[in-house]
Amino acid sequence: MQEYIEQLWETVTIEFMFKFFVVYFFVVWMALVLWVAKDISNRSNSRIFQTFCVLLIILLTPLGVFLYLLLRPRMSVYEKYQEEIEGNLLILWDIVHERLEKAPGEMLLCHNCHIKVEDDYIMCPECKTSLKHNCKSCRKEIRSSWAVCPYCKTKQEKKTHQKKSQKHKAKKQKNSNY
Ligand SMILES: [Zn+2]
Ligand SMILES: [Zn+2]
């Protein structure tokens, strides 16, 4: 046993240690090259940049690894794509919102069931909510969805519409039960 250990120690020369570290370094190096090749293909579509990053690792390991971590794009292509879609949806939502709020004449909606109605309708053909009524103060015809009469600044009560919409909702629920 003692002899065996001594023999083993004799084989562990500086040359052996050196060879061991060369092989170890080579394996780690190859693994890094493979990892970077895979990682950069997820983060960039540019062939030139992909090749550049892989070359950086091949030529400059271990320093190249830190350089790569500094240089690589923050997000993967998929994440970037997702963020772009989210941004576009927000813009689209803003446009729809603006159209609904700023141009009621172009596209008027029933304030109860939100179907498209015409400017001169006095009642929603879908849910039978009254769309217009006379201001209690100046008696001018105004839209029921307005909070204030634009002719005399009188605040409008919304109770009647709410009641109607509640009734309508109850009706809808009843219908969906059947
Ligand atoms: Zn309606
Ligand atoms: Zn009024």
CA of 111 to the centre of ligand 2 (A): 20
Domain that holds residue 24: 2-71
Question: 138 and 116, same structural domain?
Answer: yes
Q: So what's the pLDDT on residue 168?
A: 52
Q: Do residue 117 and residue 95 come from a single domain?
A: no
CA distance 152 to 150: 6
Q: What local confidence, expressed as pLDDT, does residue 106 receive?
A: 62
Q: For the chain of 178 residues, list the mean pLDDT of each consecutive stretch of 10.
A: 78 83 92 93 90 91 87 86 90 79 67 87 92 92 89 78 48 53
What is the Å distance from ligand 2's center to 74 Cα? 58
- The reported pLDDT for the residue numbered 176 is 54
User: How far does residue 168's CA lie from ligand 1's centre (Å)?
Assistant: 9
The CA 148 to ligand 2 mean position distance, Å, reads 8
Ligand at minimal distance from the CA of 140 is: 2
Same domain, 95 and 63: no
Residue 119 sits in the same domain as residue 172: yes
Same domain, residue pair 123 and 150: yes
Dist CA 40 CA 32 (whole Å): 12
Residues 112 and 173 in one domain: yes
Domain count, the chain: 3
* Closest ligand to Cα 164: 1
Q: Model's pTM, two decimal places?
A: 0.44
Same domain, 113 and 169: yes
**Hey, how many other C-beta atoms are within 10 angstroms of the C-beta on 123?**
14
39: Cα within 13 Å, side-chain hemisphere: 17
Question: How many A from CA of 100 to the centre of ligand 2?
Answer: 24
Residues with C-beta atoms within 5 A of ion ligand 2: 135, 137-138, 149, 151-152, 154
**End residue of a domain, out of 48, 71, 94:** 71
Ligand 1 centroid distance, CA of 110 (Å): 5
The Cα 84–Cα 73 span in angstroms is 15
Based on the domain organization, do 14 and 62 belong to the same domain? yes
Q: Are 17 and 67 contained in the same domain?
A: yes
DSSP assignment of 119-131: TT-SB-TTT--B-
Pairing assessment for the beta strands 132-134 and 108-109 based on DSSP bridges: unpaired
Residues 61 and 95 reside in one and the same domain: no
* Distance from C-alpha of 141 to C-alpha of 119, rounded to nearest angstrom: 12
Residue 117 sits in the same domain as residue 87: no
Do 92 and 146 belong to one domain? no
